[in-house]
Structure 1
Amino acid sequence: MSPFEQQLHVIRTRPGFIAALDQSGGSTPKALGQYGIDESAWSNDEEMFAIVHQMRTRILTSDSLTKDRIIGAILFEDTLRRQVEGRPTGDYLWNVKQIVPFLKVDEGLAEQSDGVQLMKPMPKLDAKLELAKQQPVFGTKMRSVIHTANESGVDAIVEQQFEYGKKIAAAGFVPIIEPEVDIHSEEKAAAEDLLSAALINQLDRLDGKTLVMLKLTLPEKDNLYLNCVEHPAVVKVVALSGGYSREEADKRLRKQAHVVASFSRALLQDLRADQTQHEFDEALARAVQSIFDASMTPHAL
């Protein structure tokens, strides 16, 4: 099998979940603050990204992060440009850890309109895909956010995601399409119903060869996205933690058949910079096992 086919086989069949380690410019200070490093520790973006790479390297090299529980990891562009143990990060992940690398490609969110935040334009997308081709990167991830049950807004979000997704797929990658629904929305359930319909509409319009993954907020209705899970164009449906605690995210995930986690905050919430290596590894091991168990819970359909 080609490297792509090997990675596709891993994502489709190997037990485990996807670690989301792709905090970027706007979310990095918050992630570092949760890790116990105050903003006074850096004076510019370069110093900030160097510090967050130290955190990510500690996670990626930990004995608690293994292929037995983790099938993939989503990385920020800066992380992919840096090295882990003397290797490019994507190369280290796949060839040392046998964990499938993904690259976050979006440029952040536009201002809210029609109850949603579309992605900003992505003029650097081609350059990011070229960077990804230099390492064994399997797919990409891009995020937009739904705040209210506005049908035209939801349709616009999904259409934009799929238009970029088709371009990414044509370049040889599997895009993770992430139309997040705000967990604090008073119209969350109704927005999710609209999203489910819009996703199936776009999936049914694909050419029969294009493959995508979906990263979705844990829904109010159990198994709401089962029709997406079963769609032939979908490699995998994964769930974001979206601000839920790990306990709550795990609880909700157990109710979603054949959906696995792609958690960020819920994965990292107990990790601290001042922990000893043993304490760090133990905290990460507990988180990984908890999320793995929730991802692998047998579901009665």
Structure 2
Amino acid sequence: MKNIEQLNLMHSGKGFIAALDQSGGSTPKALSGYGVLENQYKNEEEMYGLVHEMRTRIIKSPPFDSKYILGAILFENTMDRKIDGQWTADYLWEKKHIIPFLKVDKGLADLADGVQLMKPISNLDELLDRAVERNVFGTKMRSVIKEANQKGIQEVVKQQFEVGLQIFKKGLVPIIEPEVDINSPDKQKSEEILKEEIQKQLSLLDKEVKVILKLSIPTVDNFYSDLMADPHVVRVVALSGGYSLEEANKKLAKNNGLIASFSRALSEGLSAQQLDSEFNARLENSIKEIYEASIK
């Protein structure tokens, strides 16, 4: 493990992970939420330039601080750009003492057996090598579970751990994210199958392998406590999954030891039109609320 300090901080530090990793398909949506409309950029390059400005503004904001935030998940395009002349991952760690992660998945496959697996990640090896070069600590990849389908959930977890192992072998810590859709009619049943499948996969890992689990906030409070106790698991983090910030925080606070890894909920209410004072105050408010819910 290349960075014991980061590993220890991730395992027992107080705070949450900020997800700044909306990518290709969701970038226009992230920008329009920020008050930048599609007629304000001509092509993909301009769009990514604008989204990097938004992320830079968030990262450089005074409340975006290691007092509250343990890590930040970046999109590949953000990793390959700079903030004040430093690669984004280096800026995060050296200037802010926040652990950098990279989103590596290429989106979701079509729905089958009640789930959406990850699309194949064609350039994964090359991407991981670049992440190591850029001093990234870990990665993130997402699948989605829509129904309590045993076969589908088994496939999701198996795929996540197979790719996770490939990532770990490169010296990075994978965030394994099998999201259960919060609108699923049988969410609780899905979570029961999911936990069982995760436990099976964890039991097959060699002693030194470490993973982080990113899961939907469970229907039953503290349902993932036993996963937190597994020696392979560095941390269990929660996604906001479409809940509003207020609702996500309320649900999160009922789960001891579960910390946030919110994206949409984190940037709620931020806008390109805001003065820095207004922008920073809004972000500080959201960060403090998420932090409070995460340390309960």
TM-score above 0.5: yes
The answer on whether the counterparts of 2:82 and 2:88 sit within 8 Å (CA) in structure 1 is: yes
Q: CA deviation digits over 1:12-56, x for unaligned, max 9? A: 122110000000001111111111111111121111111000000
Deviates more, 1:287-296 or 1:123-132: 123-132
Structure 2 CA distance, aligned partners of 1:128 and 1:292? 31
- Give 1:107's aligned residue: 106
Matched position secondary structure for 1:27: helix
- Give 2:79's aligned residue: 80
Structure 1 CA distance, aligned partners of 2:135 and 2:34? 29
**How many aligned residue pairs are there?**
296
Alignment of 1:157-236 (within 5 A): 157-236=156-235
Query: 1:3 offset after TM fit, Å?
Result: 5.8
**2:280 equivalent to 1:281:** yes
Structure 1 CA distance, aligned partners of 2:223 and 2:30? 30
Query: 1:87 offset after TM fit, Å?
Result: 0.5
Kindly provide the amino acid, as one letter, of the partner of residue 73 in structure 1: A
- Give 2:254's aligned residue: 255
Query: 1:99 offset after TM fit, Å?
Result: 0.3
Alignment of 1:146-161 (within 5 A): 146-161=145-160
The answer on whether the counterparts of 1:141 and 1:177 sit within 8 Å (CA) in structure 2 is: yes
Kindly provide the amino acid, as one letter, of the partner of residue 108 in structure 1: G
Percent pairwise identity: 52
Structure 1 CA distance, aligned partners of 2:32 and 2:188? 32
Structure 2 CA distance, aligned partners of 1:189 and 1:40? 42
Unaligned runs of 5+ in 1: none
**2:244 equivalent to 1:272:** no
Structure 2 CA distance, aligned partners of 1:35 and 1:188? 31
**2:19 equivalent to 1:32:** no
Query: 1:284 offset after TM fit, Å?
Result: 0.3
- Give 2:4's aligned residue: 5
The answer on whether the counterparts of 2:142 and 2:177 sit within 8 Å (CA) in structure 1 is: yes
Matched position secondary structure for 2:121: coil
- Give 1:292's aligned residue: 291
Kindly provide the amino acid, as one letter, of the partner of residue 219 in structure 1: P
Give the 4+ runs in structure 1 shifted more than 4 A: none
Matched position secondary structure for 2:6: helix
The answer on whether the counterparts of 1:75 and 1:101 sit within 8 Å (CA) in structure 2 is: yes
Structure 2 CA distance, aligned partners of 1:98 and 1:199? 31
The answer on whether the counterparts of 1:3 and 1:136 sit within 8 Å (CA) in structure 2 is: no
Matched position secondary structure for 1:74: strand
Structure 2 CA distance, aligned partners of 1:149 and 1:156? 12
Matched position secondary structure for 1:275: coil
- Give 1:67's aligned residue: 66
TM-score (norm 2): 0.99
Structure 2 CA distance, aligned partners of 1:273 and 1:154? 40
The answer on whether the counterparts of 1:110 and 1:120 sit within 8 Å (CA) in structure 2 is: yes
Query: 1:152 offset after TM fit, Å?
Result: 0.3
Q: CA deviation digits over 1:170-212, x for unaligned, max 9? A: 1101000000011111111111111111111111111111000
Structure 2 CA distance, aligned partners of 1:141 and 1:3? 18
Matched position secondary structure for 1:235: strand
Structure 1 CA distance, aligned partners of 2:194 and 2:137? 26
Structure 1 CA distance, aligned partners of 2:269 and 2:95? 25
TM-score (norm 1): 0.97
Unaligned runs of 5+ in 2: none
